[in-house]
Structure 1
Amino acid sequence: MTRQIRRVPVAERRARLARRHRLVPGARAERPEDVAESLVALHATDPATVHLSAAARLRDPAVAAVERALYTDRTLVRMIGMRRTMFVVPTPVAPVVQAACAGDIARAQRRQLARDLTAQGHPEPVPDADRWLAEVLDETAAALERRGSAMPKDLTEDVPRLRQQLHMARGKPYAAIGYVTTRVLNVLSMEGRIVRGRPRGTWLSSQYEWHATGAWLRGGLPALDPHAARVELARRWLAAFGPAPVEDLRWWTGWTVATTKKALADLGPVEVDLDGIPGLVLADDLDPVPEPDPWVALLPSLDPTPMGWAGRDWFLGPHRAALFDRNGNVGPTVWCDGRIVGGWAQRPDGEIAVRLLEDVGAEAEAAVAAEADRWRRWFGDVRVVPRFPSPLQRELVS
């Protein structure tokens, strides 16, 4: 007997997105932790994105609430995870991300740094770079334990070898000489040994104090079985972003094809038909989802919703060239009923400039204008410049 494969049309995928990503008013969250849990992780390469993604989904958005979760309650933690990208994740999810993604990335980055020390060390190559790097990593972690917290410059006083230089891209027009300090700290963080704390400056700053993980997070990061962690991460992603093709999960996590297949084999999702494209959904998530009332949203650059899938045509349409940069980073976007319909930008005078790229009708256009005014009032005197502006965002502020 032929098994009937359930069809999930684009309209239902958009309805799931609206509710599960907390973009409709009735689904908005009480706490930043709830927002991060709903999306698995918040993009944090640009520190402003964390606050703006939360603000778009909170009933009572406030920078102070996000800072409380990050730095006082420590129920959210900033870490490098999937695709060697910075995220903010719920603290209980941090061990999952560590075992499923960050550990493998740390090993690769540690090997690469040792190779660069051997080949690009300045003024001379570093002999026995593996041993040298292991010693510097341990010395840096120990220095941070003694200090309790420190900025990178403080740690170079305790560990002079952090001032070791690399001459990268020697002979090229873009050649540069720099210290290994940041790369050593990143490897330690990807190994789960240290963690970024409060930034030096405002919530827009990316200069963080460093802390030993065990001191910042009670009990540190429990060690999980990597395969079990990958199964759990795949489950969380499908709950937030499914149904979706396998390739979207593989892209989002940065896993190999084999690793992705192995995780899914133990998870046991169900195959569905995404309008002619094979997709997967959790076995207990097959019930139809009704369409919500009409809605609009203004989401920031690098928001986890548009960055959640590799295949975006079903919500992005023909607008990729205007709203994504050449490296695949999304700029600020305007959403209407589950699809991207335009972009926006904050101008130097505080105005929220919007450009719709398709006709959405008078009612939706008025709702977008009201949402833009809400953002204007929320920003107040604060000015935020996306670190990865889209072509449209550049046009709107020029």
Structure 2
Amino acid sequence: MGGEDGRRHIGVAERRARLALRHRLAPSARAAAPEDVAASLVALHGSDPATVYLAVGARLAEPAGTVARTERALYEDRALVRMHGMRHTVWSFPTDLTAVVHASTSLTVAARERAGLLKDMAKAGAPDAAWLTEVEEATLAALARRGQATATELAADEPRLREQFAYAAGKSYEGVHTVSTRLLRVLGVEGKVVRGRPLGSWTSSQFRWALAPAHPELDAAEAQAELLRRWLATCGPATEADLKWWTGWRVTEVRRALAAIAAQAVSLDTGGTGYVVAGDQPVTAPVEPWAALLPALDPTAMGWRDRDWYLAPELRPHLFDYSGNVGPTVWWNGRVVGGWAQRADGEIVCRILDEQGVDREAKAAIESEAARLRTWLGEARVTPRFRTPVEKELSA
């Protein structure tokens, strides 16, 4: 249906239907494999390691074996890779997107990170850039020999990684950095190393490092156009503000990429202009009722800057931490209606915060999703890295 200015109009109801199908949340749209989930969503948040597995499990038609299947995709088949990307955040995304993410979002950040490291080292009287290059080359060679290794293991091969230097002397946040901590972070942003297998279980935040898969060097503008095209195909319509927030780009880069892919402008119920990919088809068939329990930092809950069309503003203080990280959320038919947590005995508990439209059918569907999650988690216990008020209360 067209808007007053002749543009196509996409209302909230259609946006929620698109989300159900394109984000693999409606039962009929669920995926067969972790790789399918990642490809559909473009990228899975990886700052909290558990998010990747929980986001995948929520979208698989058969979630049994979610952990083993996701680990195989990440660490054996290498169909997925966990590395820095948009907004200087760690993500897991299909390996074939490595070059696109690196060229479109990481190069600028990488240059800033390396310059910052060298500046801090110089202020502390640490060795110069030539010394750092030697350490870097030795570290990458050691990693190539080992396959995967922790920073401690790499320091056994290259002892200079253990050296420390002070930073921000005299400031309230002054401290001491180890060369390994800063250098491996820089190498990660530069796309030279990636996160490998965790130490301990799949929920652990401690991990090994591995060499990044080889990828071609792409033109930055072309890579930005390709990343934006893929993301809009999944998350469109989105506003310029949404796109700038999700990518971390400047608004000029967002507009250049929109023009490059000939994105179609549409009007929205929430006002302003949204964009979809050229040739985007409307969702006209009804979507079956659906419920979902999505994890903290889930890419759907964190997909847009402007969230009022699926998340009532009054719910935010309960479901987000002070830094803007979303916690575990309960969904019904395209809306966030509450939060959930796992208790020490493994029980999955939910709290409905928005009762509008949450009838007996909805509550039964939510209970079914909680039981589904409890079953595939088995003996695993998950505590989000970023705690939120409702999650803390429910897990107590």
CA RMSD of aligned residues (A): 1.6
**CA–CA distance in 2 between the matches of 1:251 and 1:24?**
26
**Corresponding residue for residue 296 of structure 2:** 301
For residues 60-100 of structure 1, what are the alpha-carbon distances to aligned partners after superposition, in whole Å with 9 as ceiling and x for unaligned? 12211101111111111111100111111111111111111
| SS of alignment partner, residue 326 of structure 2 | coil
Question: Does residue 1:333 correspond to 2:329, yes or no?
Answer: yes
Q: Which residue matches 2:163?
A: 164
Matches for 1:199-278 after TM superposition, within 5 Å: 199-213=198-212, 217=213, 220-275=214-269, 276-278=271-273
Corresponding residue number in structure 2 for 1:116: 120
TM-score (norm 2): 0.94
1:290 aligns with 2:289: no
Q: Check whether the contact 1:16–1:289 (CA below 8 A) recurs between aligned residues.
A: no
Q: Does the 8 Å CA contact 1:150/1:210 hold for their aligned counterparts?
A: yes
Bigger shift: 68-77 or 50-59?
Answer: 68-77
Does the Cα contact within 8 Å between 1:299 and 1:334 map onto a contact in 2?
yes
Q: In the comparison of the two structures, how many residue pairs are matched?
A: 387
Residue type at the aligned position of 2:60: L
Give the alignment partner of residue 36 of structure 1, picking from 30, 35, 38: 38
Change (3 A) 1:29 1:187: same
State the one-letter code of the partner of 1:349.
Answer: D
- Secondary structure at 2:10 match in 1: coil
Query: Which of 25, 39, 43 is residue 23 of structure 1 equivalent to?
Result: 25
Task: List gaps (5 residues or longer) in structure 1.
Answer: none
Structure 2 equivalent of residue 386 of structure 1: 384
Matched residues in 1 for 2:282 and 2:292: separation? Answer: 26
**2: distance between equivalents of 1:364 and 1:311?**
25
Task: Give deviations 1:286-309, integer Å, cap 9, x for gaps.
Answer: 434433111110001011101111
Secondary structure of the corresponding residue to residue 223 of structure 1: coil
Task: State which of 67, 70, 73 in structure 2 corresponds to 1:69.
Answer: 73
- Residues 17 and 283 of structure 2 are in contact (CA less than 8 Å); yes or no, is this contact kept in structure 1? no
Residue of 286, 310, 313 corresponding to 1:315: 310
Query: Equivalents in 2 of 1:92, 1:65: separation in Å?
Result: 19
What is the identity percentage for the equivalent residue pairs of Structure 1 and Structure 2? 53
Deviations 1:2-47 (A, max 9, x none): 9611111011001000000000000000010000000000111111
What SS does the corresponding residue of 2:274 show, helix, strand or coil?
Answer: strand
**In structure 2, what is the Cα distance between the partners aligned to 1:361 and 1:370?**
14
Moved more, 49-58 or 368-377: 368-377
* C-alpha distance 175-289 of structure 1, shift in aligned 2 (>3 A): farther
- Deviations 1:242-271 (CA, angstroms, capped at 9, x unpaired): 011011111111111111111112111011
1:12/1:290 contact within 8 Å kept: no
Distance 2:286 2:138 in 1: 56
Per the alignment, in what secondary structure is the counterpart of residue 316 of structure 1? coil
More divergent stretch after superposition (221-230 vs 159-168): 159-168
- Provide the rounded CA distance (Å) in 1 between the counterparts of 2:304 and 2:243: 7
Determine if contact 1:250/1:256 at 8 Å carries over to the other structure: yes
* Superimposed CA distance per residue, residues 299-349 of structure 1 (whole angstroms, 9 cap, x where no aligned partner): 010111011111111111121111011111100000001010000000111
Q: Distance in 2 between matches of 1:289 and 1:44?
A: 34
Question: Is the 8 Å Cα contact of residues 242 and 280 (structure 1) preserved in structure 2?
Answer: yes
Alignment partner, residue 143 of structure 2: 144
Long gaps (5+) in structure 2:
none
2-structure distance, mates of 1:3, 1:383: 52
C-alpha contact (below 8 Å) 1:95/1:222 kept by paired residues:
yes
- SS of the residue aligned with 2:337? strand
Secondary structure at 2:310's aligned position in 1? Answer: helix
| CA drift at 1:131 | 3.2
Secondary structure in 2 matching 1:230: helix
| 351-360 or 34-43, larger mean C-alpha shift | 351-360
| Secondary structure class of the residue paired with 2:249 | coil
